[in-house]
A = this chain, B = another copy of it.
Amino acid sequence: MTERRHEREFVRTFFTSPTAIEGEEDSAKMIRRAAQLRGMQAPDVWVPDNEDATAPSMRDEGVENIIEVVSEHGAEFPGEIHPRMVWHRDSPATRYQGFQHMLEIASSDTGAIEHIDGFVIPEVGDIDDWKKADEFFTIIENECGLEEGSLAMSVIIESGESELAMGKLRDEMGKATNNLERLFLFVDGEVDYTKDMRAMTPTGELPSWPELRHNTSRGASANGCIAIDGPYDDIRDVEGYHERMTENQAKGMLGIWSLTPGQVVEANQSPLPPKTGSWLLDVDGEQVELDSEDGVEVYDGDRVSLEETDGGYELRVGNDTRTLDEDELHEELLKLTSYVPSMDDIVDSMEEFEAAKEAGRGAIAMERSATLRIGGTEFDISTDRMWDEATYQAAMTPISLFQDVYENRPDQHDELNERYGAGVVERAMEVGL
């Protein structure tokens, strides 16, 4: 396989901050602040943004600000730093400006480039356009005495052309005349994508673009890169941001753009397993979390009820009431419930499977049981799930992500230890190795 250069295998947060604010006395104020974020507030990848978040007339000043702030604070910044430059598939002037800005940053005698991991290139087009940017990176590396391929290149997918380009990368990467192995993040940019696709909605809300997100995730997977979803504009809608992240995670897109340190915190935590497990009850298609009271999982709403009758049970869901015997009720409740495992649960299961494997068994049954209380009536459910090597491997994803975070982000150790307890953290760092 083609060798990739990146230390991080997972990136949760892609945080852009304005490089320069027009009219501000200190036009570097925003990135100066961003450079000093730590812990859960600090992103995995920080992007001082000299494109959309900087007014066109301020972009030369923006470059100077990046040089100044990164050379001053870069050594201590806990995540990676990837400034966003200007670029456009349809404008040679913009592309050349992007090249000049990168060269200026890389050749600055402040040593800023030592703290910079790569650059983000927006508005890329088809694969030949990606190669143009790659060639500029190579020239800059050569001019500035950096190893060829050492600067990562991330791209914003915000046109149909670049969406299609991800399907062609494997035919191009590894060729002698390019260094496309430097590719790192594929970031969806839904606002410009919507414009490029000429899409529109009655209220002006962005379309959700499920196919784009699938294609970006697949492109990243097939090319050893990492997929990141675009910005979520309504920064007050924390619930909506979480729903979007959960949807994305089911597509293999574990990272998301953040517009504020508050969104960074949410996005850093979202892909990590919860501290405590929880049972869900499917109430007419909605997943309701049950309250855990002294080891009993309690539903106390009025949309589901359960009553014991002579020799059986009456289960009502919404307007639909059924009389069931004990076995039928058990079967039905298994269908209606599901369990969200905690970090501790996942580590337990993995350890159990690893021990079984060591003892020469390829598949084992994992039991999951609970006492439910619905409308005052208690009932025990229990089920086995078969784990084989594939189940084990798929369960590994959140743990691998945790391990990657723990290794690369010492500034988050306190918060992680506080969240999970040091014992669970230690065991989580051991499984799967």
Asked whether any CB of chain B lies closer than 8 Å to the CB of A317, the reply is: no
Give the distance in Å from the alpha carbon of A55 to the alpha carbon of B364 in the complex. Answer: 13
Closest to A191 in B: B390
Q: Pick the contact of A222: B159, B204, B252 (CB < 8 A).
A: B159
Asked whether any CB of chain B lies closer than 8 Å to the CB of A352, the reply is: no
Chain A contacts with B in 191-239, Cβ cutoff 8 A:
191-192, 194-205, 207, 210-212, 214-215, 217-222, 236-237
Known A198-B254, A199-B250, A303-B319; contact A218-B22, beta-carbon cutoff 8 A? no
Asked whether any CB of chain B lies closer than 8 Å to the CB of A361, the reply is: yes
Give the distance in Å from the alpha carbon of A195 to the alpha carbon of B392 in the complex. Answer: 10
A170-B126 in contact (CB<8A):
yes
B-side contacts of A57, CB under 8 Å: 360
0/1 string, A150-176, CB within 8 A of B gives 1: 000000000111011001001000000
Chain A contacts with B in 360-418, Cβ cutoff 8 A:
360-362, 388-391, 393-398, 400
B-side contacts of A400, CB under 8 Å: 198
Q: Pick the contact of A302: B214, B220, B319, B396 (CB < 8 A).
A: B319
* Chain A residues with a Cβ under 8 A of chain B: 1, 10, 22, 52, 55-57, 90, 126, 159-161, 163-164, 167, 170, 191-192, 194-205, 207, 210-212, 214-215, 217-222, 236-237, 246, 249-252, 254, 271, 280, 302-303, 319, 331, 335, 338-341, 360-362, 388-391, 393-398, 400
